[in-house]
Amino acid sequence: MTKAGKVAKETGVDVKETKREAITSVVENVKGMPMMNLVRNLRNIMELAPDKVDDAVAQLTTREKVLNSKLLPFRFATAYAEIEAVGTKKYDTTQIKFESDVIPDMTDIKNKILKGLEKALEYSVENIPALVGNTAVLIDHSGSVRGDGGGSSKVSAFSKTTTAMIGNLFGSMLAYSQRNVYVGLFGDRLISVPMDRTKGLLEFNTESFRKGDSCGGGTENGLYVFLNDAINNKTKVDNLVIFSDMVIGSGGTGGWDRSSHAGLGKFQDLFKKFKQVNPQCNTVCVDIKQTSGKSVFDKSLNVLQIAGWSDKIFNLIEVNCKGYEALIKEIEAIEI
């Protein structure tokens, strides 16, 4: 596309038409457009070559092509948000416009692409590694990440996206890819979200984010509640993955029992009791926003801490959560 635009400017040919020809030639190629390029150029296809949208969607919804691309759901979710934000323009009868000036209503085209992206996103979940055993995914919905806890929860000064939106999306992606999963949202309370695999990933993400608004924004007590319940019920947990800003209460002393309202003591002590029940549990803490507070997960707790968010975190989680059998197989596969 960049080359086409440059050539058009140098030769004096219409830039839009040149780019349209470039898009058409690549989309119509026998192998189609490489998936990453296709995802990045969906808006260009939509606006410059709308007659090729069906071809693009056909490629997006080819399961083998999506899986072979190795792209993770984050890429398709990002493209979905971009296409969803594209406005639709209709013929303005109050202005003088020639035929070539009219921008057609793209609602139908836009909806086709969105449906295609949703299907691609669901296929791409298979590119997220499934962890050995069961997996508990806990997602922070306290005020510091949703934006009602004083101060900004935006992921950057130039973004409208909150930390809770990112955490919920990544948590939903991970949960959707696991064979046996528990999803919990935490704030003042813990809210359990049943995994309904009859729903698409985006629908599950939207519904769970909406439920997160009921967690209560004052504290992160729901995380204490999860650990305390697992201790009392001797619940077996193989993998525990937490998406949060990792600032849990007043230095980790703010938890209370939801029935007796008795204090649960220091977070570190509660977590050590949880590990006594689950000595082999792999714990990963994804710090989705660096804050000025101190993380409750200090080095003595022996957990993997990941800072920031990208599609690379799933590989890091997998490496940390490999079972002994998988490690033995890797060792046996080494040629000396």
Please identify, among 101, 126, 151, the residue that sits at the C-terminal boundary of a domain.
126
Asked whether the predicted pLDDT for residue 304 surpasses 90, the reply is: no
Do 21 and 111 lie in one domain? The reply is: yes
Give mean pLDDT, residues 285-309: 73
Q: Does residue 108 fall inside a structural domain?
A: yes
Do 110 and 188 lie in one domain? The reply is: no
Q: What pLDDT, on a 0 to 100 scale, did the predictor assign at position 153?
A: 47
Do 76 and 212 lie in one domain? The reply is: no
Asked whether the predicted pLDDT for residue 152 surpasses 50, the reply is: no
Domain count, the chain: 2
Do 55 and 165 lie in one domain? The reply is: no
Domain around 223: 128-331
Q: What pLDDT, on a 0 to 100 scale, did the predictor assign at position 3?
A: 52
Among 204-208, 273-277, 292-296, whose mean pLDDT is lowest? 292-296
Do 136 and 116 lie in one domain? The reply is: no
Do 189 and 322 lie in one domain? The reply is: yes
**pLDDT 10s digits, 241-278:** 999 887 665 555 667 676 766 777 788 889 999 999 99
Q: Predicted confidence band at 134 (pLDDT cuts at 50, 70, 90)?
A: very high
Q: What pLDDT, on a 0 to 100 scale, did the predictor assign at position 158?
A: 36
Q: Does residue 336 fall inside a structural domain?
A: no
Asked whether the predicted pLDDT for residue 135 surpasses 80, the reply is: yes
Please identify, among 111, 126, 141, the residue that sits at the C-terminal boundary of a domain.
126
pTM for this model (two decimals): 0.75
Type of residue found at 227: L
Please identify, among 126, 151, 184, the residue that sits at the C-terminal boundary of a domain.
126
- What are the φ and ψ backbone dihedral angles of 162, each rounded to 5 degrees? -90, 160
Asked whether the predicted pLDDT for residue 28 surpasses 80, the reply is: no
Cα 202 from chain centroid (whole Å): 10
User: How deeply is 174 buried, as exposed, middle or buried, from its count of CB atoms within 10 A (0-12, 13-18, 19+)?
Assistant: buried
Q: Does residue 76 fall inside a structural domain?
A: yes
Contacts of 138 by beta carbon, 8 Å cutoff, 6+ apart: 171, 184, 185, 186, 222, 223, 226, 240, 241, 242, 243, 244
Q: How much is the mean pLDDT over the chain?
A: 80
Q: Predicted confidence band at 323 (pLDDT cuts at 50, 70, 90)?
A: low
Asked whether the predicted pLDDT for residue 30 surpasses 60, the reply is: no
Q: Predicted confidence band at 233 (pLDDT cuts at 50, 70, 90)?
A: very high
- Three-class DSSP category at 162: strand
End-to-end CA distance of the chain: 48
- Determine which helix (DSSP H) or strand (DSSP E) holds 315, and give its type and residue range: helix 313-320
Do 162 and 29 lie in one domain? The reply is: no
Q: Which residue has the higher pLDDT, 276 or 51?
A: 276
Give mean pLDDT, residues 214-223: 88
**pLDDT 10s digits, 181-200:** 999 999 999 999 999 888 88
What DSSP string describes 69-98? HT--HHHHHHHHHHHHT-------TTS---
Rounded-to-10 torsion of CA 192, 198, 199, 205: 30
Asked whether the predicted pLDDT for residue 327 surpasses 50, the reply is: no
